[in-house]
Amino acid sequence: MTGQFTATQASGEVYALGEGPVWDPDRQRLLWVDIDAAAVHEGRLDPATGAVAATTAHTFGTAGNTAGNTAGNTAGNTVGAVAVSADGQLVVAEREVLTRVGTAGRRTELARVLPPGAPSRLNDGAVDPAGRFLIGSMALDDRKGQEVLARLDGTACVRLDDDLTLSNGLAWSPAGDRLYSIDSTPHVVWERDYDPATGETGPRRELFTLTDGMPDGMCADIEGNLWIAIFGGGRVECRDPGGRLLATVEVGAPNVTCPAFAGPDLDVLVITTSSSGVDLAEHPGSGHLFTARVGVRGLATPYWVPPQW
């Protein structure tokens, strides 16, 4: 699969820092977050046109307001990622903690990942082939090499990495036996062996480095190729696990944050973007969702398996 594609603007709404699209097949809905607004959004995807209609928003508190924020974070909350269970529960990565949102809307803190008041926040997350949620963090200052990638086991967090700077996109191979992860600041895509049955990993090794733009969010297709958002580059790149460029999707916004395959056939690539700090007169597509058909289907996103209390 090779090619040059152009994404189409899919949403009417503008998001400050759109991120982390997730397809929920049982409810035929799309989930994504606006990190800076501390919000999880739900919407409907029209697979024929690629249009996304926002339907519901869940907010988790803003600067100086801890309403709805079970962590009580007064530093200004964020929402880095969301995942969904088979029965419709959500796990939401707030600034420092993971929060469970029940099907009736009740919110409970699952686990604290970062210490209170840390100069960091939770960032990108994803569900492994067995239903475990993985989440990374990013520095909010100039510190380097002190951020984490953690796996939620029940209500305990197991650290896989503790030497990152901006933990970002996560994806697995079609067999689930390899985990790919991004550290955006050094522009590195990492690889390690992964045991879906236990969540145990092998040693981390550098897969490849991107030199033309910052890698951000990531997903995988059924052929095992990686689709990587290039923040600041206005595109999504498809690369094989050896780093060879196979395809490019041009996006009408410079700060492209994350791709995900969605729709009943997982053949619509949904792409989030950011409007924060962008001249909207020059880049009016910034902050919108985009979609593209790229001639390949994505891997199904596993449902999160919540802890049993």
Residues assigned a catalytic role: 216
Tokens of 169: 């996109």
**205 neighbors 231 (Cβ within 8 angstroms):** no
Supply angle C-alpha 307, 153, 162, rounded to 5: 145
Tokens of 113: 């990942």
Element (H, E) at 244: none
DSSP class of 185 = T
Q: Within 10 Å of residue 191's Cβ, how many Cβ atoms?
A: 19
- CA 298 to chain centroid, in Å, comes to 15
Q: Confirm whether residue 216 is marked as ligand binding.
A: yes
Q: Confirm whether residue 168 is marked as ligand binding.
A: yes
Tokens of 155: 């209500």
Give the span between the Cα atoms of 228 and 47, in whole angstroms: 22
DSSP class of 13 = S
Give the span between the Cα atoms of 107 and 143, in whole angstroms: 32
Half-sphere exposure (Cβ direction) of 243: Cα atoms closer than 13 Å: 13
Q: Confirm whether residue 69 is marked as ligand binding.
A: no
HEC per residue, 157-174 = EEEEEEEECEEEEEEECC
Give the span between the Cα atoms of 104 and 202, in whole angstroms: 39
Q: Confirm whether residue 26 is marked as ligand binding.
A: no
**127 neighbors 104 (Cβ within 8 angstroms):** no
Residues 6+ apart with CB under 8 A from 232: 213, 214, 254, 255
Q: Which of 260, 253, 266 is nearest to 295 (CA)?
A: 266
Binding residues: 19, 121, 123, 141, 168, 216
Binding residues for substrate: 121, 123, 141
Binding residues for a divalent metal cation: 19, 168, 216
